[in-house]
Amino acid sequence: MTDLDNAALGAVVTVNGAESDAATYHWPITGSAGSTLVWYNVFTYGTAIRATQWATQAFSGTNQNRTWVREKHDSAWSAWREQATKDYADTKLPLAGGTLTGPLVVQVEDNTAAVGLDNGLNEKWIEYKHNGVRRISCTYNNTLDSYNIVRYDLSGNYLDTPFTLGRNTGLVTVPGRVDIGDTRNASKLNLIGWGNGRGVALLTQPSLTGTNVCQLFLANGGGQVGSISTTDSNTQFNTTSDYRLKQNWHDIPAPLESLMRIRFYEGEYKAEPGKQFLYVIAHELQEVVPTAVSGEKDAMGDWHPVLREGADPQNVQPGDVIDVVQDIAPQQVDYSKLVPLLGAALQELTARVAALESQPN
């Protein structure tokens, strides 16, 4: 006979004996799912002060048993902890139409599916209920070949389908409002991969004719500062200009002189050599009309890696990065801010021409 304490690593130890005496060992429970206890056994290993007990139980119902464990520390037993349960057939957790009480935790450590659900029908496969009334469900529609999130009212009646994902098309449909973002200084919506011949980055289409606002801009405090609106034939780019938002206005001083200080050029952009553009230089314009220019001259931005030719930017591997460079933070010009100056300069020039024309030859 092998002493359990002296058994070699990997050795098989056999324990023979009769069923435990109920008067000596108290089993964890006496029944399961309406069944009665028909067989039990308790195995104890340790000392009178510190020990571990394993208990196995079988009940009168088919495929019903329990396995438990508890520990004794300083002569005090802990509560029984259930290690394995089998009340129903392997294919049903719980029995069809039944309820699983308590949390269900599924953990996997590889790429296998944690939970697989398959009913082959246009039915719910995950549903959340509150006090027995359904609130939201995830479904697969076999006819439309789409995955859906479905909402219900307080009585459990269907409200709408606020999210649909086409399985083959990848098209996401959200008929309601979508709120994106938090307080972090990062972009909230990135539109990538919509190049020439592959559609547009952002498509808006109103449901009514007439003037419709397709984009609204708000200040930090919530007030409107601008918008992009459309009519049945054109687009308007709007900025606030209401007199109730302004104060201390006066005529533009020497508008023609200011206009003559602005240098206009014809030239290229480095990204499009050989193509001619009409433009100004931002920091030069900033000296004359500072409100038309954003950013600072020679400002620098973030650092980013330069990848070797053929590297996948979505899966950068060791050796793919051949350099690290710092981006410029380019100044930008809002050419619409020149309109008031151009208008005032034209008025001044018109007045001068009129004065000259009024003089005798």
Which domain-ending residue is among 114, 147, 173? 173
Say yes or no: 238 and 260 in one domain.
no
Number of domains forming the structure of the chain: 4
The per-residue DSSP string of 245-282 comes to G--S--PPSSHHHHHHHS--EEEEETTEEEEEEEE--H
Question: What per-residue string of b and e applies to 38-63 under the rule 16 or more CB within 10 Å gives b?
Answer: eebbbeeeeeeeeeebebbbbbebee
List the structure tokens of 130.
């509150």
Task: Give the pLDDT confidence of 120-147 residue by residue, as tens digits.
Answer: 555 667 888 888 888 888 888 877 788 8
**Whether the predicted pLDDT of 105 surpasses 80:** no
Task: Give the pLDDT confidence of 148-185 residue by residue, as tens digits.
Answer: 898 999 998 988 888 899 888 888 888 888 888 878 77
Place of tokens 């020679």: 298
The better pLDDT of the pair 298, 90 is held by: 298
Instruction: Using pLDDT thresholds of 50, 70 and 90, give the confidence band for residue 89.
Output: very low
- Say what the pLDDT of residue 224 is: 92
Return d(Cα 288, Cα 342) in angstroms, integer.
13
Residue 188 domain flag: no
Return d(Cα 241, Cα 130) in angstroms, integer.
51
Residue-range definition of the domain harbouring residue 219: 212-245
- Say what the pLDDT of residue 328 is: 93
Q: Is 340 helix (H, G, I), strand (E, B) or coil?
A: helix
Return d(Cα 182, Cα 5) in angstroms, integer.
60
Say yes or no: 67 and 141 in one domain.
no
Say yes or no: 224 and 162 in one domain.
no
Say yes or no: 337 and 306 in one domain.
yes
- Say what the pLDDT of residue 309 is: 92
Say yes or no: 23 and 42 in one domain.
yes
The better pLDDT of the pair 125, 63 is held by: 125
Say yes or no: 43 and 68 in one domain.
yes
Task: Give the pLDDT confidence of 175-232 residue by residue, as tens digits.
Answer: 888 888 878 777 888 887 777 766 788 888 888 888 899 999 999 888 999 999 999 9
Return d(Cα 268, Cα 223) in angstroms, integer.
39
Report CA-CA distances (Å) from 96 to 91, 92, 93, 209, 247.
9, 6, 8, 53, 73
Say yes or no: 236 and 271 in one domain.
no
Say yes or no: 222 and 297 in one domain.
no
Say yes or no: 228 and 272 in one domain.
no
Residue 92 domain flag: no
Residue 106 domain flag: no
Q: Is 211 exposed, middle or buried (0-12, 13-18, 19+ CB in 10 A)?
A: exposed
Average pLDDT over residues 236-241: 94
- Nearest alpha carbon to residue 281 among 300, 302, 261: 261
- Say what the pLDDT of residue 139 is: 85
Query: Is 160 in contact with 175 (CB distance < 8 Å)?
Result: yes
Which domain-ending residue is among 203, 224, 245? 245
What CATH number is associated with residue 316? 1.10.10
Least confident of 32-41, 68-77, 135-144, 214-223: 32-41
Question: What per-residue string of b and e applies to 272-309 under the rule 16 or more CB within 10 Å gives b?
Answer: eeeeeeeebbbeebbebbeebbeeeeeeeeeeeeeeee
**Full-model pTM:** 0.57
